[in-house]
Chain A
Amino acid sequence: MIRDFLFFTTEALISIRRSGIMMFISIATITVSLIVFGIFLLLSANISNLTTYFAAKLEIRAYLKDSTRPDEILDLKTRFEAIPSVRKVEFIDKNTAWEEFKKNYPKIELNTLISDNPLPNAFRIILSDSAKLTTVANHLKGFESVEDVGDMGAIADRITAFSEYTRIAGIILVSLLTFATLLIIVNTIRLTVIARQDEITIMQLVGATTSFIRWPFIIEGLIIGVIGSVFSIVFLIFGYSFFVMRFQEKIPFFPLVYSHFTLNIIYLGIFIVGTTLGVLGAYLSVSRTIKSNY
């Protein structure tokens, strides 16, 4: 068994070395397909990251009338907290808000434009369920002391719908891409199989079993798959960190995916898909050729 395995591996390596250009084409094709596949995975990871990021930021601000007294404010806090799907209620004092605003935007010389604090007292209300945003916002509007409610209900609905659509589109696109990559691999390996048709015929004439003939090709497919995956992963690692670097120069603090965990999962996925496709492609193409000879 081990003897056979060594023999098959040697055969596969000899074949790879001998059919240089063909191998180069196969590996290049797989690398390019997997890069496209990987770009898509990174893109959908970022879209999903973005939607969760925005979903987590969903909050409502209830701006209070200037006439509201401190004891009324305390009372309101308790009543807001009692509303279903409200997770956290935080009071923002108008003076604190003003100081923070000036600190966050130091370039705008507000002091020269406005002398008084234009901001009202407000509550920041964070929800446990972003889908209830509109309902809670409407409820808040009913309070007499609430002058205005700032909500992102419309945006929230769109983000939720968007993330759902990207998820479905993602599944469809990944399946199509996997299928396309498989077709490409099957056909490229088929070319190497056809190029060695005479050899296969001779093997069959001297009594080689189908699996004996098939193994070297499958190992060849595995090697092509592994090399193609590694090339594409290296390309994606460098490409993505370059992209992140350039993007952050233009738009700082944009929520891109940096987590090593997520990225490693994506790269591992590409590796598994690449090697599986290499093996499967080799199996399918060599089986079709062998069958026609018995």
Chain B
Amino acid sequence: MIRVKNVRKIYPNGFVALDGIDVHISRNEFVYLVGQSGAGKSTLLSMMYKAEIPTSGDIYIDNIALSNIDANQVPYLRRSIGVIFQDYKLLPRRTVYENVAFALRVMHFSRSRIRRQVTQVLELVGLQQKMHHYPSELSGGEQQRICIARAIVNNPPILLADEPTGSLDPDTSWEIMQLLSKINARQTTVIVATHNKSIVDDIRKRVIAVENGRVIRDEQLGLYNT
């Protein structure tokens, strides 16, 4: 489903963020991308939805090289990939409902279909009671749930999460991870970049460890450290 082929990323200032990454992720897999801050996890995820472009090498999604997708097609690529951010990236002046509905609006869905899908997804993440609140009125965990709802509302085959628990307390982090597992069980490939050791060790999945821009370990049902 996702194939990363010899990807290198060197920033103009000479910093080598990724130094020859080769990874293959199958359909419906759940993968942790672990490593220190600055190890290159976020850069790799950003490349998968073309927010960053490799200096060399390429990424293939369903055998389509991302380097062949030009700027006009990027929006369509992004509709098949849900993204969850550490800082949630919600529209502050829109309600919970509007934030989630927005992802469907850009796809020109009808009003009734938007209402149906948004209500369903808010139920899934447990926020149907708060759909008319503004993000600022909600807790960090609840905001992260909106972000997740927005990412999955159109049932994308791939869900990328960049430090989804980075700003949350342990209990809330646990709930968010349960939710991601649930989404994975609904036939969605999930990739979570994290440096949350306890979660990786408790919810055992495939672990890809990145250090200094290289994959140093890749094991099924791995631990955060060896």
Q: Which of B65-114 touch A at CB < 8 Å? A: 71-72, 74-79, 83, 89-91, 93, 102-103, 105-108, 110-111
Residues of chain A lying within 8 A (CB to CB) of residue B110: 3
* Number of cross-chain contacts by CB at 8 Å: 48
B interface residues, Cβ below 8 angstroms from A: 49-51, 71-72, 74-79, 83, 89-91, 93, 102-103, 105-108, 110-111, 150
Whole-angstrom distance from the CB of A180 to the nearest CB of chain B? 32
Residues of chain B lying within 8 A (CB to CB) of residue A4: 108
Verify A207–B78 contact, CB threshold 8 A: yes
Verify A209–B78 contact, CB threshold 8 A: no
Verify A205–B106 contact, CB threshold 8 A: no
Verify A209–B89 contact, CB threshold 8 A: no
Residues of chain A lying within 8 A (CB to CB) of residue B90: 202
Across the interface, B75 reaches (CB within 8 A) one of A18, A198, A201, A204, namely A204
Interface pairs (16), CB distance under 8 Å: A3-B108, A3-B111, A18-B93, A202-B90, A203-B106, A205-B49, A205-B51, A206-B79, A206-B102, A206-B103, A206-B150, A207-B103, A207-B107, A209-B72, A209-B106, A212-B106
Give complex CA distance A18, B134 in Å: 15
Verify B75–A209 contact, CB threshold 8 A: yes
Give complex CA distance A221, B193 in Å: 41
Give complex CA distance A3, B108 in Å: 8
Whole-angstrom distance from the CB of B100 to the nearest CB of chain A? 10
- Most chain-A Cβ atoms within 10 A of its Cβ — which of B75, B83, B107? B75
Residues of chain A lying within 8 A (CB to CB) of residue B150: 206
Q: How large is the interface on A (under 10, 10 to 19, 20 to 34, 35 or more residues)?
A: 10 to 19
Give complex CA distance A209, B72 in Å: 7
Verify B91–A205 contact, CB threshold 8 A: no
Residues of chain B lying within 8 A (CB to CB) of residue A206: 78-79, 102-103, 106, 150
Q: Is A242 positioned at the interface, with any CB of B under 8 Å from its CB? A: no
Q: Is A208 positioned at the interface, with any CB of B under 8 Å from its CB? A: yes
Verify A207–B91 contact, CB threshold 8 A: no
A interface residues, Cβ below 8 angstroms from B: 3-4, 7, 18, 198-199, 201-210, 212, 294
Residues of chain A lying within 8 A (CB to CB) of residue B78: 204-207
Residues of chain B lying within 8 A (CB to CB) of residue A3: 108, 110-111
Q: Give the nearest-CB partner of B102 in chain A.
A: A206
- The 9 A-B pairs with the shortest beta carbon distances in the complex, nearest first, are A207-B79, A207-B78, A208-B106, A206-B103, A294-B71, A209-B75, A207-B75, A202-B89, A212-B106
Residues of chain B lying within 8 A (CB to CB) of residue A203: 102, 106
Give complex CA distance A280, B153 in Å: 35
Q: Is the interface of A mostly helix, strand, loop or mixed?
A: helix
Whole-angstrom distance from the CB of A282 to the nearest CB of chain B? 19
Q: Give 13 A-B pairs besides A201-B89, A205-B49 with Cβ atoms closer than 8 angstroms.
A: A3-B111, A18-B93, A203-B106, A204-B74, A205-B51, A206-B102, A206-B106, A207-B75, A207-B76, A207-B79, A208-B75, A209-B106, A210-B75
Give complex CA distance A139, B213 in Å: 98
Q: Give the nearest-CB partner of B81 in chain A.
A: A207
Whole-angstrom distance from the CB of B33 to the nearest CB of chain A? 19
Residues of chain B lying within 8 A (CB to CB) of residue A7: 105
Whole-angstrom distance from the CB of A199 to the nearest CB of chain B? 6
Give complex CA distance A212, B77 in Å: 16
Verify B103–A294 contact, CB threshold 8 A: no
Give complex CA distance A208, B107 in Å: 7
Whole-angstrom distance from the CB of B68 to the nearest CB of chain A? 15
Residues of chain B lying within 8 A (CB to CB) of residue A212: 75, 106
Give complex CA distance A18, B106 in Å: 21
Q: Give the nearest-CB partner of A202 in chain B.
A: B89
Verify A199–B91 contact, CB threshold 8 A: yes
Give complex CA distance A198, B94 in Å: 13
